[in-house]
Amino acid sequence: MMPKLTVLILCTGNSCRSQMAEGLLRAAAGDLIEVHSAGVKPAAQVQPGAIAVLAEIGIDISAQRPKHLDCFLHRPMHTVITVCDHVAEVCPVFPGKVRRHHWGFRDPAQAVGSEVAVMGEFRAVRDEMKRIFDAYAGGLRDGINPIAR
């Protein structure tokens, strides 16, 4: 059996968007790829709203922890996906031939208003991410994406 290819999802704080993306992509394609997330300035913990809205769709990210990008700089990466514009601009070069994608998402941790409004923003970002990462996983399964080779 061939080893799984590694996908790293990056964000600034690794507390919300990249953690949600890691959980979503692992749920959609964890049997095909190894998925990790990291940040350039990792926060102390994963945003509770991110944990809650993924739990609503049956994905448990409560054991995930923010990690620094440095933990992954010397590991072979097949694909690096940035999910916030800041990290897309400062993302380091990884050794070897690494595929890069940038899919920027709004930061639901920055949402203001009532708890209902804030959680609505977390759900909206989750749903947008789910559509994109499910499509990406579908491409992997169909062999359209070169990562599957």
Is 91 a residue of the active site?
A: yes
**Which of 59, 58, 56 has the alpha carbon at shortest distance from 21?**
59
Catalytic residue among 43, 52, 91, 118: 91
Q: Residue 102 — φ and ψ, nearest 5°?
A: -125, 115
Is 16 a residue of the active site?
A: no
DSSP strands (E only) in the chain: 5-11, 33-39, 79-82, 99-102
Q: Two tokens at 37? A: 């997330």
Catalytic residue among 7, 9, 11, 80: 11
Catalytic residue among 84, 87, 137, 140: 84
Q: Known catalytic residues?
A: 11, 84, 91
